[in-house]
Structures are given as structure tokens and as C-alpha cells.
A and B are shown apart, each in its own frame.
Chain A
Amino acid sequence: MEGILKVAMPGLILVVEALVLLLVALLHVAYTTYAERKIIGHMQQRLGPNRVGPRGLLQPIADVLKLLTKEDIVPLGTEKTLFYLAPFISLVAGATSLAVIPVWEKFALANVNVGLLVILALSSLSSYGVILSGWASNSRYAFLGGLRASAQVVSYEVAMALSLVGVMLMAGSMNLAEIVKAQVASPFKVYAIPQIVGFFVFMISAIAETNRVPFDLPEAETELVAGYFVEYSGIRFGLFYLAEYFGMVVMSAVAVTCFLGGWSGPFEIPGVPFFWFLVKLYALLFFYIWVRATLPRYRYDQLMGLGWKLLIPLSLLNILITGLIKLWV
């Protein structure tokens, strides 16, 4: 019995750690939706949710319960397997990236040597959920959404990967924990200052990757009704919703790790080693919500023009300059 325990212990610890991370992330996702509704409400001179629980704090939980108990409708003429599979692809690809992010020095679920590449790979896979649901729904609105998503994700994936190359060059590593350590040792403490161009490109393409306003063309409520998830109902719709917010949290966490110095801060907070990580994460999430409340949606040709004619050349220039500085300094 003890022998079995000894063998199974590392695996068991990993599973428990993964569950804890998932639970915390889910809570964050749930309350990001609450924060979004509250903040946008106040920005638009409204109150936001305030009926369920004190100050509406139980609203996200009520929403989840509502989505769970709703009828699950699968329209006629859909491609059944893919229709069922698509929301899970979105969610799994979005949430798995959390495993490689170092929340603090001693906690990263999987300390992978090519962590940055893993995140890029998973974020490019998450577009399959959108593209497949658009095709499997057998609906014109959903199909147009899927079509838009595939072109958008491929274009902005390039800009995002290129914007992170500057960080890889400066840190000399693709391991996220190493990148944070290299940042702490660098003169500015964060890469957001020397890599300001990369940071700018990353933040914009991250919004496009997660299909949020002002780049939410795949779901554009006003023209495509809801785009790719038009035919989904109940908890299947909920999974897409969850995937979008997971994507938002993951992208913010990557920005915190690669550009804002990860878990390090101006001073240590005893007992809460991940304090600064969370502060930076919340600031970036607020930025996302702020952008959504402020900017109108882009037109499709403007979106493509911005990606290919501005962001990609900018990030290429950034790589060149970073490389030259690395060479001579």
C-alpha cells in the first residue's frame, strides 16, 4: 500500500494542483464577467447587476445555474459530432495554456522549456472551436462568423508571435519562468519599457485573438446576430462564453509574464507571493474591459489593414532593432 502511494504521490499532487488552479481560474473567469458588467455599467451611467446577493455579487453563479438548467437545443441539419465537439475544443485549448504560466517563482504547473511556444500553439488551436462551430451549425450567420474568425486568427497570430520574439531575444529563453527572472535582472525590471513596441503589438493582437471588441467581427451581434455560436443554447453556449473569458485571462497572464515582470514587484508581500502577479493581471483585465466600453467595432478591411500593414511591419522592425541592440551593447 505504501509503495503504491509513493509511486502515485507525484501524480496525485499534480492532479490536485491542476484542480486548484482550474477552480481558481474558473472563479476568476466568473467574476471577470461580473466585473465587466459592473464596470461597463458605471462607464455608461448605469448600475450594472445589483439584485442577486449584496451588490449583485452572486450574479455570475446565478448565470451559471441558469445556463446549466436551460434546454439544450441542437438544430436540424447540423453536423452532430463537430457541433458537440466545437465548444470543448475552444475551452480546452483556451484553458490548457494556464498550465505553463508561472504564477510565482515556485508555482508553474508545467515548467516547459518552450512555454511561450506552447501558449502560441494552443491559442492558434482555439480558433478551431470557432471555425468548426461555424461550419457545423449549418447556418449562414454562423458560417460567416467562422470564415471571419479563420482569416482574423491567422493574420493576428503572426503579429502576436513576432511581437513575442523581441522578448525571447532579450531573455535568451522561451521558458516563462526564465523570462521573468531575466526581466528582474534587467535594468528596467520590466520588458514593457525597452520592448514598448512589442508590448503595444501584443496587447492589440491579443484582443483580436480572443475575438473581443473592437475586433469581435466573428461574433458581431449587430450584423451576424452572434456569429459562430448563434445556434448554440444552454450550457454549450456557456462553454463558448467561458472559453472567451479564459482566453482573456490567459492573454493577460502572458502579457504580465512576458512584459510586466510576472510575480516580481517593488516590495515583497509576506505570505502572498503571487500578490503582484494578480495586481498586474487585474489591471490588464480592466484594460480589456475599458477598451470594450470605449471603442466601436472595426470594419473588416480596416482590421486586415491594421494587422498586415501596421502591426506586422512594426513587430518586424522591433525584432530588427532588438537584435541590433543585442549585437552591439
Chain B
Amino acid sequence: MEKVLFGYLAFAILASAFLVVFSRNAVKAVLWGLVMFLHQAVLFLTLQAEFLAAIQILVYAGAVLVLFLFVIYLINLREELKWPRFLGTYPLAFLVIFFFLVLAGAGISGFTPASPKGSLSPQALLSQGHTRLLGEHLFREHILAFEAAGVLLLVAVLGAVVLVRRIREEEK
């Protein structure tokens, strides 16, 4: 039963990911992305990671993709839809992807899962729950990386604001 479920989820995630890339219509591509995110959330649920599943839907499906849709609505893509293909060299891309797949295969074949470190054991997960454990690790051990990621995002936001302001002042 579990294997059937996993098989379905893996197939659906791959298929919807391909459809994201191959859809000619940008809105439909985003919607296939939504289908993919929902399947990923279910995949997390089958691994008993409730917190990750909820966050997956809340952040990726609920916020990131809605913003994507918003941007696609604001730009006019009618012209691009009629273009033949964006890239004429796409057979080469398949070659590159093939080599990447070989590399990934080589990486995975020698893979052994790391043994649980510190308090991150299945028993602790069962007794304390994902949320508490994840929070403790994120905000105690990895606080520096977490803060650095936050600052990076803030820099990106500020940069966007500065760029827009400069363009507006030049127009004046």
C-alpha cells in the first residue's frame, strides 16, 4: 500500500514538474507547479512530517505561487505564446541533462544515510514532535545560518526598492 502510494506520488511529481516546463501558457505552468507542490506535501505527510507538509502548502503553494501568478498577470505574455521556441539549441540541453543525470546517479549510488546526531533521533521526534525539535535546532545550533539567510533576503528586497526608485527618479 505504502509503495503504491509512493509510486503514485513520485510519478505525479515528475509528471507535473515536466508539465511546468513544457506548458506554453505561463498561467498553466504555474498551476502545474501548484499540483506538484500539493503532491510534495502529501509525500511529506506519508513520512509523518506534518509540519513540513503544512509549511510546504502555506509558503510555496499559498504565497510564492500566488506571487508568481500576480507577476504573470501584470506582464503581457500574449506575444511570447506565438513564438516558435525560446531556444533553438535545446537538443544540446538534453545532452547536458544526460550528463547531470549520470553525475547524480554516481552520487546516489555511493550514498549512505548519516546516523542521527544529537537529539535528532526518531524517538525524540515521536515524543516532542517535529515543530519543537525543528525550532530548537534552527534557533540554537543553526541560528547564524538562519540569520544570514534572512539578511540576504532583506538585501534583495532593499535592492529591488532602490532600483525601482532610481528608475522613477530618472523618469522625472
A residues whose Cβ falls under 8 Å from a Cβ of B: 82, 112-114, 117-118, 120-122, 124-125, 127-128, 131-132, 135, 143, 146-147, 150-151, 153-154, 157, 161, 174
Contacts and interface: CB of A to CB of B under 8 A. Distances in A.
Given A112-B50, A114-B131, A135 B57 contact: no
A114 B58 CA distance: 12
Contacts of B58: 117, 120-121, 124, 161
Contacts of B57: 121-122, 124-125
A147 B70 contact: yes
Given A135-B73, A146-B73, A114 B62 contact: no
Contacts of B70: 147, 150-151, 154
B55 interface: yes
A125 B62 contact: yes
Contacts of A135: 27, 69, 73
A132 B27 CA distance: 9
A174 to B, nearest CB: 6
A266 to B, nearest CB: 33
Contacts of B31: 82, 132
Given A121-B61, A146-B73, A174-B131, 7 more contacts: A112-B50, A121-B54, A131-B69, A135-B69, A150-B66, A157-B62, A161-B58
B34 interface: yes
B67 interface: yes
Nearest to A168: B131
Contacts of B51: 113-114, 117
A125 B31 CA distance: 12
Contacts of B159: none
B145 interface: no
A113 B66 contact: no
B63 interface: yes
B129 interface: yes
Interface string B8-52: 000000000000000000010001001000000000000000110
Interface in B56-89: 57-58, 61-63, 66-67, 69-70, 73-74
B62 A113 contact: no
Given A124-B62, A125-B62, A113 B129 contact: yes
Nearest to B74: A147
Nearest to B58: A121
A114 B50 contact: yes
B69 A125 contact: no
A128 B31 CA distance: 10
Given A113-B50, A114-B51, A124 B69 contact: no
A122 B53 CA distance: 12
B34 to A, nearest CB: 7
Contacts of A132: 31
A126 to B, nearest CB: 9
Contacts of B66: 124, 127-128, 131, 150, 153-154
A150 B66 CA distance: 6
Nearest to A117: B54
A114 B73 contact: no
